[in-house]
Amino acid sequence: MPTVPVFPLNAVLFPGVVTPLHIFEDRYRALMRDLLALPDPADRTFAVVAIREGYEVGDRGVQSLHRVGTLVQLTEVERYDDGRFDIEVTGRQRIVLDEVDPAGEYLTARGDLVADEDDTEDATEEARRALATFEEYRTRLSSLRGGPVLAGPMPRDPAYLSYSLAATCLLSQSERQDLLEAPDALTRLRMLRRSLHEEMRSMRALPSLPATEVARTRWSPN
């Protein structure tokens, strides 16, 4: 794969999930300008990789990155007069980065795209179970809130369902990274179902509202 721009973030993004980002640092303003100069919108891609150590901004900056991230496509842009951008990106595919090059205006790296293995009957059945568990979780959360919890329709495809749930459920960044690095949808769905059951056990033990917002992300198969 050719060299791609790298955007370090204190978050994990997933394929198929639409994510808003606010761009204010000079180096990533430069990245947006370079992407927007490309005539074909399909070429406006970069790798979002979670920060392992360090910060997005500040004197210390990024110390180290995870190797596995998500190749995203720039899909929506609002540019402000002061040079900032509000954007939306859509995750396309997982990517494993080689050594990152810090020499340019922004980080770049060569990387290999990684696809999930083909769905199996086990993955399809696990997707059904995970979706049923999520619906049970959403029902319990609605009962605690005293009203419906809104969420868009979930995909039925095992891989995209696993990514959508991973972006939606209450998880730590390290848990999300583990899900992104999981080898296939079946493994990811099993991990998610365990997490949902643990969350529901916590809700029964301490019936207060968890800090979960099941409608904060959208997914897209494109």
| pLDDT tens, position by position, 47-93 | 999 998 754 444 344 558 999 999 999 999 999 999 999 999 999 99
Average pLDDT over residues 111-117: 88
Give the integer Cα–Cα distance in Å for 3 and 32. Answer: 16
Q: Residue type at 216?
A: R
Which domains are assigned to the chain? 4-114 (2.30.130.40), 121-217 (no CATH)
What mean pLDDT do residues 188-210 have?
Answer: 81
Residues 169, 192 contacting (CB under 8 angstroms): yes
pLDDT at 37: 97
- Output the pTM of the full model: 0.84
Per-residue pLDDT, 64: 83
% of the chain with per-residue pLDDT over 90? 64
Q: How far apart, in whole angstroms, are the C-alpha atoms of residue 7 and residue 21?
A: 11
Roughly how many angstroms between the first and final C-alpha of the chain, as a whole number? 20
